[in-house]
Structure 1
């Protein structure tokens, strides 16, 4: 596969380029752009100008070609909904999975330089792309009503039932979630652009098509596979973050027995999941219990790495690891069953995975948390948290509100 990567001669930010491409696509009846922003494939951002993303299973390409460090070229952008684990509980109007091919992308490297990359000669010339990105279209906008929250009593009751199951020895931990819903009109792309600018999430993603839009401000890496090397960074443990200078809760989070126990249990679960498909002895934990900022909260995260066995495909890797351990529980099978019995609706895309499969750069997927699902004039936001034996139902509900607050504020304040 032939791969080209050419720097643009004019400087343009990824957020501006995304807005220009979104307006260009809307004005010409083309599919909207797809974008990954934050930390993806070692890049600051990746944009596919107009991929046709539609309901489809994730493809299974041959092993990665060698395109050189940092180069992406193109690939399949898409998502896997959590409800793939239990199709009978599908919720919302978005398809269970959707993917689309892009034969060229814009990639912003670590220095902020934008490269136009293509596979097998696809895409426009550098001069054509530079001319397009130099245009100044009118801004896109959106309006949304306030989100309707689940009844707090319903969430507290679910947490209590989960704690009782843990006390009975059925499992060690489970993630219990609810769904906030409301009305939406206007441009999902504008919402994404504003959220990336205001929230600076580490694993943001935007996908859209005639079926609707997924607007994700996730802080969490589910899987990164580059060649045979694989990595996962589960998040577990949360306290509110009140400002950039306030690190008191960061210290408290690292000292919290409950939050540390949550993280260690899920890290061990991820080790077990990867151990099913990795070379014996290759699974390690190079980072444990790191405190990191996310919009509105502090999180604990840990990193697990491994080397896949030669015969393992991406489908095999996902079969061993999906849905992500951080949004299910331990043991995972019992947690999935308990979640289905305690949550009042399916999760949709929420707690699934979103990302890019490149035939030259590998696979990267986030965990679809802090993620809006938009279709047919409605918007939904899933929120939840991990429950352990010493969870307090009211504190768990407040944690949900802390996680949702930056997104509710974003939604209510169009730029």
Structure 2
């Protein structure tokens, strides 16, 4: 869909790139033909679909190692973020309901329906639009950059009055979903979270390997036979306030693989779905009371001119929606296996949410 003349333009920002002027929008799960014409596209996918991409007309790439003394003439003045009251957040699942659903998943595992399910809940708080405008996504992004720097930080904001699909998403994701470069595709699934490395358990390691196998299977669908490989197994990554176990899987892509084909093989991300993926998705639909939206989907970019992409798993991020007078939302979850303890899994969801909710909230 093309942007009507004179309509407000959107913005997208990621490590090394700023984009402005959204001029086209497409659902990549349905059609990637517009990307064959090239261009820089910002991507935001809902867990349940669609996976939308907005082409931006003006793209500025920043140097990888900028001169620390240089003045950036394009830099905008620092903005002030006005978040919701810290006491106003509510959860789609409270502690008791979440623990009961952990037991539901364990029973499904006992019955042989699934091996693992990522069980999530969505937190939200009222955040009305002001003066007819939507909240300042870039201001929140700056707050997260300072307080919780992340390897796949960024955001996309295309206002509702733009004439095509709107989006308001800010990411502080630590997890790589798909990177495409030099004819290869790689993924870095996270499974295993603790405050320190000493807190990681055998359950975390077994779960990580299970999900890495799922990613290998997904990439085999678009990879040249014999090229799918694990390049880094059970690496420990430190992030603000916690550590993760990360495994990296890589494959050489079959020549001619399109963006829609790549997503058809891999979406939604295995690490936030479960095993087997189809059965886990059915169970998620039964036990989670609200759609996840951008949470556990993806956010990132595709450079269709260069044939490159970097898409993060849509975790540790916020999205805003205008319904109910305007609400800011954040998702959190945990991977449930037969060895899960319901109370520990609840605490893991709290750990993942605590720091970022604090940063986004007013005192």
TM-score range (shorter-chain normalised) is 0.7 to 0.9
Counterpart-to-counterpart distance in 2, 1:348 and 1:227: 31
- Going from structure 1 to structure 2, the CA distance change for 1:393 and 1:311 (only over 3 Å counts) comes to same
Counterpart-to-counterpart distance in 2, 1:47 and 1:363: 15
Once the two structures are superposed, residues 363-407 of structure 1 have per-residue CA deviations (whole angstroms, 9 ceiling, x without a partner) of 221000111110222111111010111100010000000000011
CA drift of 1:410 comes to: 0.5
Q: How do residues 177-256 of structure 1 correspond to structure 2 at under 5 angstroms?
A: 177-185=120-128, 186-210=135-159, 211-240=166-195, 249-253=196-200, 256=201
**8 A Cα contact 1:53 1:98, kept in partner:** no
**8 A Cα contact 1:53 1:209, kept in partner:** no
CA drift of 1:250 comes to: 0.9
CA drift of 1:63 comes to: 9.3
4+ long deviations beyond 6 Å: none
Counterpart-to-counterpart distance in 1, 2:287 and 2:252: 36
Once the two structures are superposed, residues 292-342 of structure 1 have per-residue CA deviations (whole angstroms, 9 ceiling, x without a partner) of 022322110000000111132121111011000000011111111111111
**8 A Cα contact 1:53 1:207, kept in partner:** no
TM-score (ref. length: structure 2): 0.86
Counterpart-to-counterpart distance in 2, 1:183 and 1:172: 37
2:63 aligned with 1:102, yes or no?
no
Counterpart-to-counterpart distance in 1, 2:309 and 2:37: 11
- Going from structure 1 to structure 2, the CA distance change for 1:351 and 1:77 (only over 3 Å counts) comes to same
Q: How do residues 53-64 of structure 1 correspond to structure 2 at under 5 angstroms?
A: 56-58=26-28, 59-60=32-33, 61-62=35-36
Counterpart-to-counterpart distance in 1, 2:67 and 2:8: 26
CA drift of 1:82 comes to: 0.7
**8 A Cα contact 1:267 1:304, kept in partner:** yes
CA drift of 1:78 comes to: 2.0
TM-score (ref. length: structure 1): 0.75
Unaligned residue ranges in structure 2 (runs of 5+):
1-5, 129-134, 160-165
RMSD: 2.3
Unaligned residue ranges in structure 1 (runs of 5+):
1-27, 38-44, 65-73, 85-95, 115-128, 241-248
**8 A Cα contact 2:24 2:56, kept in partner:** no
Counterpart-to-counterpart distance in 1, 2:45 and 2:123: 20
Give the count of matched residue pairs: 333
**8 A Cα contact 2:21 2:57, kept in partner:** no
2:111 aligned with 1:168, yes or no?
yes
SS in 2 for 1:282: coil
Q: How do residues 378-389 of structure 1 correspond to structure 2 at under 5 angstroms?
A: 378-389=327-338
- Going from structure 1 to structure 2, the CA distance change for 1:297 and 1:282 (only over 3 Å counts) comes to same
Counterpart-to-counterpart distance in 2, 1:160 and 1:142: 39
